[in-house]
């Protein structure tokens, strides 16, 4: 049965380019991103891992640990990292899982037989400190992901986790957010001292509370 939002993310043990890990231990009390790649030494995957490496500081600022997974073996991963660092002008500092037996791919339903019976699709999961799945995005193998969008969604998820707000369409860090319906306008005015703009009883904006 496939994972759904709000489900507990399955734990696993795996061999990675950074040694053997336990997924939960690796995440600790922070946030995590687990994302799959169809295969090593492929062009789109090379650019994706390079972009993730270039954004490592941004993920760290948000207390997010990243972890990639591919069904290729460990020695192939290690050779591929050299290519990624060279061609993308980066240093890959996060683990890549060697999932030869497809254990992780099966746990997270990353193989879609109608797309490919052997390779994973581009699945990405954001996992909260409570180990629950907060976000799932799936791309076809031919389309590289937008990791600035992933950062944007993490910012939104963390705001929702820490404050009673949601984010509107096309929201970017620093822009106004929406007061969730569960909070009354009276309570919102007390809760958000920067002010509450009421457009409709159900549509109320407030400046981003952690800015």
Please state the φ and ψ torsions of residue 72, each to the nearest 5 degrees: -85, 160
Please report the pLDDT score of residue 111 as a whole number: 64
pLDDT of residue 93: 94
Residues 141 and 168 in one domain: no
Question: Angle formed by the axes of helices 43-54 and 147-162, to 10°?
Answer: 50
**62 and 91, same structural domain?**
yes
d(C-alpha 40, C-alpha 65), whole Å: 21
Single residue among 114, 145, 176 that ends a domain in this structure: 145
Q: What is the pLDDT of residue 3?
A: 85
- Under 8 Å CB-to-CB from 151, ≥6 apart: which residues? 55, 58, 59, 62
Distance CA 160, CA 57 (A): 22
Is residue 72 assigned to a domain? yes
127 and 170: one domain? no
The per-residue pLDDT for 112 is 52
**CA proximity to 165, closest of 122, 196, 132, 201:** 196
- Is 169 found in the same domain as 69? no
Q: Residue 7: name the closest of 107, 145, 117 by CA.
A: 107
Say if residue 48 is in the same domain as residue 76: yes
Q: Which residues form the domain of 98?
A: 13-145
For residue 2, is it within any domain?
A: no
| 156 within domain boundaries | no
> Could you tell me which residues come within 8 angstroms of residue 39 by beta carbon, excluding any fewer than 6 positions away?
45, 70, 71, 72, 119
pLDDT of residue 118: 46
Residues marked active site are found at: 45
pLDDT at residue 116, rounded to an integer: 46
pLDDT lower than 70: segments of the chain: 1, 111-121
Based on the fold, state whether residues 42 and 113 are members of the same structural domain: yes
Q: Say whether both 173 and 119 belong to one domain.
A: no
pLDDT at 106: 85
For helices 74-88 and 43-54, angle between their N-to-C axes, nearest 10 degrees: 70
Model pLDDT, residue 138: 87
DSSP 8-state secondary structure symbol assigned to residue 211: -
Q: Which tokens go with 74?
A: 């460990």
Domain count, the chain: 2
Does pTM top 0.85 for this prediction?
yes
Instruction: Give the pLDDT of residue 113.
Output: 44
Residues 141 and 176 in one domain: no
CA-nearest of 174, 138, 157 to 34 is 138
């Amino acid at each position: 049965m496939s994972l759904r939002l709000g489900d507990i993310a399955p734990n696993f043990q795996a061999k990675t380019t950074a040694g053997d890990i336990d997924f939960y231990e690796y995440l600790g009390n922070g946030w995590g991103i687990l994302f799959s790649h169809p295969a090593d030494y492929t062009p789109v995957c090379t650019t994706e891992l390079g972009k993730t490496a270039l954004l490592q500081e941004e993920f760290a600022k948000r207390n997010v640990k990243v972890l990639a997974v591919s069904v290729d073996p460990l020695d192939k991963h290690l050779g591929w990292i050299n290519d990624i660092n060279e061609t993308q002008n980066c240093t890959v500092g996060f683990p890549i899982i060697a999932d030869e037996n497809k254990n992780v791919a099966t746990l997270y339903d990353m193989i879609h037989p109608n797309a490919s019976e052997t390779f994973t699709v581009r699945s990405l999961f954001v996992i909260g400190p409570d180990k629950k799945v907060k976000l799932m995005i799936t791309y076809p193998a031919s389309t590289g992901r937008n990791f600035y969008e992933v950062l944007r969604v993490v910012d939104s998820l963390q705001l929702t986790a820490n404050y009673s707000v949601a984010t509107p369409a096309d929201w970017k860090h620093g822009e106004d957010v929406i007061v969730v319906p569960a909070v009354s306008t009276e309570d919102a005015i007390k809760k958000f001292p920067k002010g509450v703009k009421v457009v409709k009883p159900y549509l109320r904006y407030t400046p981003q509370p952690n800015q």
